[in-house]
Structure 1
Amino acid sequence: MSVTMDSDLATAWEVTVDDAPVALSACDDLVAVAGAEGTVRVLDAAMGAEIGALELPGGALSVELAPDARHLVVTGPMGYALWRRADGRVTVRENGSWSAAAAWADGDRVAVASGRRALVLNPDGGELWRSEPAASTVTDVAWMRQGRRLAVAAYGAVQGHERHTEKPVVTYPYIGSHLALAVAPTGKWICSGNQDASIHIWRTRDGSELTMSGYPEKVSRLTFDETGFWLTADGAPDVTVWDFSGKGPAGTAPRSLRCHETVTALAWRPGAAGHLASGGDDGTVALWHATAGRPQALLRPARTLDSGDSPVAALAWAGPHLLVTALRDGCVRAYGVSSRAAL
């Protein structure tokens, strides 16, 4: 691994890793980069220097730092692993189960998709409880109600589990394959991006449903901003941004953000300004005032960053002033964004 510093003030640091990145996570003063072959590098967010590393046999699919940045979990096709910052301890669970995703409830509990179950673990890998088997492989997990309820997505439904309950206490049915979950920070909405090129929405208060269909491609990236009023999704060359304020998006049209031929990464900037970063397979990173204009508006980027010819693999904000980008060729670059109000 090599580290170089860019003289351009817009570039805070640049690192080259020797495993094609597939996922990024940023929290507090750390950035974690997971590679396709299972190598995870933990970097100092300010300078890009490596402070830790681990390997997950069988490859990696996702990586998540804990909210307090004291632990990390990485998941992959053959299992998962946890890393402890204090002493670099690594706990590997190579159990042969497809582990697509993980989500931290807080610094003390993390949910991991593991085959047809969701496992809830302490930071050292001790199992606290597990969900009953789903109908198929669990594809995503997300915490609700400030970590008091776990949403588990598998074919045919999203199941809600209260803390320590193996059996679901609520079921949100949808006949299809869920690829991604997004839960509004307000707890008001659960959304799934689906293999059938749709977004399905449940209002948690009463279980009422809404489907946004007609996407030309499957919807595999789906994320709410910090306010919970805006949802962004891929599934088309244009990024779509849906307004969830008030009564929600029923009967409305999204804003469309046009820049990439194929969207490969999405990341909301922390805060309420409506700033979004997107990445494409052409190596372009676009920065957006994503909530500007009216429904059906076609927006153009506030700024684009030409990162090179390699596709953008992942994006993450390390706080509101540092955007981290990872390219498929192993280049990881951090850009300084000085003002909360400007891009």
Structure 2
Amino acid sequence: MSISASGQALTIAWEFVIDDAPIALSARGDLVAVAGASGTVRVLEAGAEVGALELPGGALSVKLSPDAAHLVVTGPTAYALWRRADGRTAVYETGAWSSTAAWANHERVAVASGRRALVLDADGEELWVTEPAASTVTDLAWMREGRRLAVAAYGAVRCHERHTARPVVTYPYLGSHLALAVAPTDRWICSGNQDASIHIWRARDGEELTMSGYPEKISRLAFDDTGFWLAADGAPDVTVWDFSGKGPAGTAPRSLRCHETITALAWRPGGAGHLASGGDDGTVALWRATAGHPASRLRPVRTLDDETAVAALAWSGPHLLIVSYRDGLVRAYSLPSRNTL
């Protein structure tokens, strides 16, 4: 395996290999969790394994709690929770498609389970559950500091307050939602869709906007920490939309081209506008994604090249970029300065 980088070489802080094809990453505090497609989950601290579990039926997502004390992993037929303090693992074989999960805080987590979202405490005790959506729940996001849950399924994004099975607000859109992103300001709710569009609602009044014309479906959306910038796939270019001021209506995005097929997106923590993207050609690109002007085509500041497709990306704080490759390799790159790529 070879690796090269443009510009000054980055430091590889550590490497780890799992016996599975990585499909998802999560990084919180001093921990990194990697999930493989067959259901292998490994929890790492500084590249050393400190926890492990196997999810029956395979895995789709893995999420560490904000305090890194708990982990939830979801898959096609089951979900599981792991506790750092003693390694306790609770597996729930529901037979329902569990696409993802989202932590409200270190005490509560929402898990997609078929057409419902289950809200659990950190040890897996059910607190409340939403009424069934029209189809399988595809994504989840918390709003209002964990007091409101946005649930995406065919035809709408529905918002539930704590302990309310029925939605208190519904944002309709006739289509299949593949990804959900809520601005950290709670001002905007965005869905990436099967019909190759991004649909946007202004949360306070439901005003809508659709950005269409992408050549491919939108399956990855991510706001930066400021809530002013949204990155999306859906083409060989990563598009970055400006949500500051009145929002993106009537504007053009910045375009970031490096990959033939985008496989991962991750904003660097903080407000510097640094974005990492990964591709099926094994390339990781680092961008100053908010530079230039609307309609600008940007070049990567740095590229990291490997021979195997990038499976997932995650930032462990502002100084450590975690990359998983489909051959099982997990690698941590160290960036010495918050302002350097």
TM range, normalised to the smaller chain?
over 0.9
Alignment CA distance shift 1:116-1:239 (3 Å): same
Match of 1:255 in 2: 254
User: Structure 1 length as normaliser, TM-score?
Assistant: 0.96
TM-score using structure 2 length: 0.97
Shift of 1:270: 0.1
Which residue is equivalent to 2:192?
193
For residues 125 and 16 of structure 1, the distance between their equivalents in structure 2, rounded to whole angstroms, comes to 29
Task: Describe how 1:50-199 pairs up with structure 2 within 5 A.
Answer: 50-199=49-198
Specify the alignment match of 2:316 in structure 1.
318
- Write the deviation string for residues 1-57 of structure 1: whole angstroms up to 9, x where unpaired: xxxxxxx7611011111010000000000000000000100000xx20000001100
Once the two structures are TM-superposed, the CA of residue 148 in structure 1 deviates from its matched residue by: 0.6
In the alignment, the residues of structure 2 paired with residue 260 and residue 247 of structure 1 have an alpha-carbon distance, to the nearest angstrom, of 31
Q: CA deviation at 1:342?
A: 1.1
1:12 correspondence with 2:13: yes
Structure 2 residue runs without a partner (length 5+): 1-8
* CA distance in structure 2 between the aligned counterparts of 1:173 and 1:209, rounded to whole angstroms: 10
Distance 1:52 1:332 in 2: 15
Q: Work out whether 1:36 is the aligned partner of 2:34.
A: no
Could you say what secondary structure the match of 1:106 adopts? coil
The 2-side partners of 1:159 and 1:197 are apart by 21
**Equivalents in 2 of 1:79, 1:153: separation in Å?**
19
Matched AA of 1:342: T
Shift of residue 201, structure 1, vs aligned partner: 0.3
CA distance in 2, matches of 1:319, 1:260: 25
The code of the aligned residue for 1:188 comes to: R
Counterpart of 1:3? none
* 1:147 partner letter: G
Cα separation, 2, equivalents of 1:79 and 1:135: 21
Q: 1:110 deviation in Å? A: 0.2
Cα distance in structure 2, aligned partners of 1:316 and 1:15: 15
Structure 2 Cα separation of the partners of residues 292 and 280 of structure 1: 22
Inter-CA distance 51–299: structure 2 relative to 1 (3 Å threshold): same
How far off its partner does 1:74 sit? 0.3
**Distance in structure 2 (CA, Å) of the matches to 1:246 and 1:340:** 26
Counterpart residue number, 1:26: 27
- Partners in 1 of 2:227 and 2:255 — Cα distance? 18
Q: Distance in 2 between matches of 1:193 and 1:311?
A: 23
Counterparts of 1:193 and 1:80, CA distance in 2? 24
Question: What secondary structure is seen at the aligned counterpart in 1 of 2:104?
Answer: strand
Partner amino acid, structure 2, of 1:39: T
Residues 218-233 of structure 1: matches in 2 within 5 Å? 218-233=217-232
Q: Distance in 1 between matches of 2:93 and 2:282?
A: 33
Query: What is the one-letter code of the residue matched to 1:320?
Result: P
Residue in structure 2 matched with residue 266 of structure 1 by the alignment: 265
What is the root-mean-square deviation of aligned Cα atoms in Å?
0.7
1:333 is matched with which residue: 326, 331, 334? 331
Runs of 4+ in 1 over 2 A off after TM superposition: none
SS of 1:68's partner is coil
d(CA) in 2 for partners of 1:163, 1:144: 11
User: Of the two structures, which has the highest relative contact order with CA contacts closer than 8 Å and spacing of 6 or more?
Assistant: 2
Checking the alignment, whether the CA contact within 8 Å between 2:17 and 2:329 is kept in structure 1 is: yes
Q: Confirm or deny: 8 A CA contact 2:10 2:335 kept in the other structure.
A: no
Q: Tell me the alpha carbon deviations over residues 267-297 of structure 1, each in whole angstroms, 9 at most, x when there is no partner.
A: 0000000000000000000000000000000
> What runs of 5+ residues in structure 1 fail to find an aligned partner?
1-7
**Equivalences, count:** 333
Question: Residue type of the partner of 1:111?
Answer: A
| Secondary structure, counterpart of 2:324 in structure 1 | strand
Matches of 1:210 and 1:9, distance apart in 2: 40
- Whether the 8 Å contact between 2:26 and 2:314 is mirrored in structure 1 is yes
2-structure distance, mates of 1:80, 1:253: 40
**Partner Cα distance (1:54, 1:119) in 2:** 21
Other-structure match for 1:4: none
